[in-house]
Structure 1
C-alpha cells in the first residue's frame, strides 16, 4: 500500500502528534507498505528519503514550531508520481487541507486523524479565544465531514466528534507504543544524572511544557505533597512555551529546590526516567489519548491523573493508579497514598504493564490497516468533497 501522510508538524519538533507519526510510519514500513511524509521544514533540517518538506515560517506564538506555506511548484509532479492508494491527513489545517485537495483531485480515499482538541489550543491563535473557539470547532466538524473516515485516538474522542456533529464514519485507533523498548532502561540513571539521593521519592511528568497541559495545577499539587514528603522530587521531562513561566511559578510556590527540568531527552533517556521514577503524575484536561500515560504504564509506573477525556480510556481507576478530580488536594492525597505504600505501588505497577500491552504499536497498526482496507473497498472516493 502507498500512503501519503500530510502533517503540520514533524521531527525535529517534538509532540504527541509527531510521536504518533513516527510510530505508525515505522511499523507500516516494517510491514512492506510505503509511507510518504509531507511536512513543514525546520531550520537545519537534513533531507530525508520519502519526506517532502514545504517552505515554512517560524510561528510567532510557539518557539521551534514552524508554519508550512501550503504551496510548492514541484508538489503536483511529486504527488502524481507516487501513485498513492490513500491520503491520510494529521491536521485539518495547512498541509491537511493540501492533502484533502489532492485526495479529491486524484479520487483517493481521505482519512483524517483527530489528534488534537483544537478548540483548546486557541490561546496560540492571534485573535480572541471567545471568537475563535466556536469557529475552530465548526471548521473541524466541516473538514471531518468531507473525509471518508475519521480516526479518533480514543473512544471518548469518538463520542465527542459525533456529539459535535461529525457524520463521517469514525473509528478508534490509538497510537501504539514500543512496549519492549520501555521495559529496558537503567533504573539508577535518573538519580545519578540529576543528583537525587537514594530513598527520595521521585514523581515524574513527561510531555510538552505548555499551558494546555495544566502544569501550574500540577505544581500546586506538588506543593501539597511536599508538606507531607519534604524530600520528594518532581522531574519534568520535555520543553515548551510555558517553561519560563513554570520556573517563575515554582519559585513563588517555594518548590523550585525540589523540581527538575530536564529539557527534551532522546527516547532511551526518557525510558531511563520512567524506570527511575516511583510515580507518574498527569494533569492535562485536553488529551485525545494521553500517550505518555501508556508509556509510563508499560514501564511499570502507577499513575495518578486528573479525570479527563482520553485519560479515562487508558487508566482504570484503582487498577493501574488513581483518577483524581480537578482538585489540588485530591491529586496530592492520591499521590501520597501511593508514595507511602510500596506494596500498592508494586501491585498497580504490575497491572499497569499488563494494561499497556493492549496498546502496542503492532496491535494499533493492525487497527489502522483494517481502517485503510475498509475505505479502500468502498466504491465512493471522496464523494462528499463536492
Structure 2
C-alpha cells in the first residue's frame, strides 16, 4: 500500500518530544507517542523525537525527525538513564529552531525531567502527558519502595514544572492531583480506528453466527496481575456449555511458559491458541466478533487494547479500569466484573457469548480516533503561554 503523502512541515509549529523510549521499543507509551507524532506530522507540523536507544540509529531526514542517544542498560527493559551531556546536546539542537512546545510522557522517566527543564531554559511551554493512574504495582517490595521514592521526588518535580499536564484517564488525573497537587486535563488515549473497524471482513473465522460469539480473546503481556490465568479459568468453566468456543492469547512475557504448561493440561487444550506477539492486522482479525477478556489488576492508564476491541466489534468483559468505565458510559458493549469474583466472570462472559454482536456507532469510533486527538493536542498547545 502506498504511504500517504505528508504535507510540508509548517514552520510556525515545531513540537519536540523528549522521551525515554520510542519505537522499535514497544509498549503503551511508545505507541501513544508514535501515533501522536505521526498524526501531527500528517497535519503539517514539524516534529522532532529525542529518545534513548543504544542499538537503533537516528533518522534525521524524516518527519518526525528521530534522534537517539546512548544510555545506560535499561532496568526491566524500560527505565534507562541518559549519559551525561545529553541535555546539552538536545539544547544545542533546539536552539534557533523556533520550537513551539516540548512534549514529555510519564513522570518517572529521566527524559521527562530533562524535557521540562529544557522548556524552562528555552522559554517555551511544556506539555506533560501522564500515563499512570497509580504507583507501580505487581513488583517486589524493594522495587515498589524505589518507585515510590522516584514518584515523590522526580515525579512531583516533573508534574509541577510542566506548563500543562494531560492525563490519559480520569484515574490518572486523580493520581496526579494526589501525588503533586496538580489539576491535569483528561486527554484519553486513541487508536487508528480504521485499522480495526475494517478488518478482514472475508475471514470465515471472523464471521460468527448471528446468535452469539465463538471466540474469547486475551491481548496483553503474560505477567502476573494482567489476568491471563483468570481468562483461562473462565474459558475452562464455560467450555462444556459452549463446545464451539476457542480461546486465543495474544502477547508475550515471563509467564508464557507457565501458560503453555497450563494450556497443555487444560480440558480446553485443543481449542486454545497461544499466538505470541502479533501485528495489528492479525490482532484486529482475532478481535472481530469475539469476547475480549481484560481481567487486569495492575495500575492501568487508558488501555488502547479496549479501544481496539470495541472498534473491531468485540464485546468486552473487564475489571473496572478507567478505559472500561469510559467505554461503558459511552455506550460500548462492555461488561464489568471484579478479578477475584469467579462467578461474576462466568456470568458476564456467558452473557457476552450468548448475545449477538452489536457494532459500535460511527460517533463512538470517531471519539477515540487519533485524527481527532491530534487536533485536540494542537488546540492545547496553541492555548499555552510561553514560560
Q: TM-score, normalised by structure 1?
A: 0.83
* Distance (Å, rounded) in 2 between the aligned partners of 1:351 and 1:246: 32
Distance 1:24 1:281 in 2: 27
**Runs of 5+ consecutive residues of structure 1 not aligned to the other structure:** 193-198, 382-386
Against the structure 1 CA distance between its residues 320 and 248, is the aligned structure 2 distance closer, same or farther, given a 3 Å change threshold?
Answer: same
Task: Check whether the contact 2:152–2:179 (CA below 8 A) recurs between aligned residues.
Answer: no
Q: What is the aligned counterpart of 1:333 among 314, 337, 347?
A: 347
Query: Residue 53 of structure 1 is aligned with which of 37, 44, 68?
Result: 68
Q: Secondary structure at the match of 2:33?
A: helix
Give 1:84's aligned residue: 99
Partner of 2:113: 97
Q: CA offsets per residue over residues 296-326 of structure 1, 9 Å max, x none?
A: 1112212111112332122339851211222
Report the equivalent of 2:169.
154
Tell me if 1:143 matches 2:152.
Answer: no
Picking from 263, 283, 294, the partner of 2:295 is: 283
Unpaired stretches in structure 2, ≥5 consecutive residues = 1-12, 207-211
Residues 137 and 144 in structure 2, CA contact (< 8 A), matched pair in contact too: no
Say which of 365, 371, 376 aligns to 2:380.
371
1:118 and 1:273 mapped to 2: Cα distance?
Answer: 31
Q: Does structure 2 retain, via aligned residues, the 8 Å contact 1:297–1:303? A: yes
Which of 287, 304, 307 is equivalent to 2:320?
307
Distance 2:228 2:137 in 1: 15
Shift of 1:15: 1.4
Matches within 5 A, 1:174-213: 174-187=188-201, 189=203, 191=205, 201-213=214-226
* Residues 316 and 322, structure 1, Cα contact 8 Å, conserved in 2: no
Q: Which segment is superposed worse, 21-30 or 200-209?
A: 200-209
Q: Quick check: 2:218–2:293 contact (8 Å CA) kept in 1?
A: yes
Q: How many residue pairs end up in the alignment?
A: 361
- 1:24 to partner: Cα distance: 0.8
1:196 corresponds to: none
- Residue 125 of structure 2 corresponds to which residue in structure 1? 109
What's the counterpart of residue 195 of structure 1?
A: none
- Report deviation, 1:336: 1.1
Aligned counterpart, 2:246? 233
Cα distance change on mapping 1:114 and 1:190 into 2, 3 Å: farther
Judge conservation of contact 1:289–1:313 (CA < 8 Å) in 2. no
Give the Å deviation of 1:368.
1.3
- Structure 1 position 172 matched with structure 2 position 181: no
Tell me, yes or no, if structure 1 residue 120 matches structure 2 residue 129: no
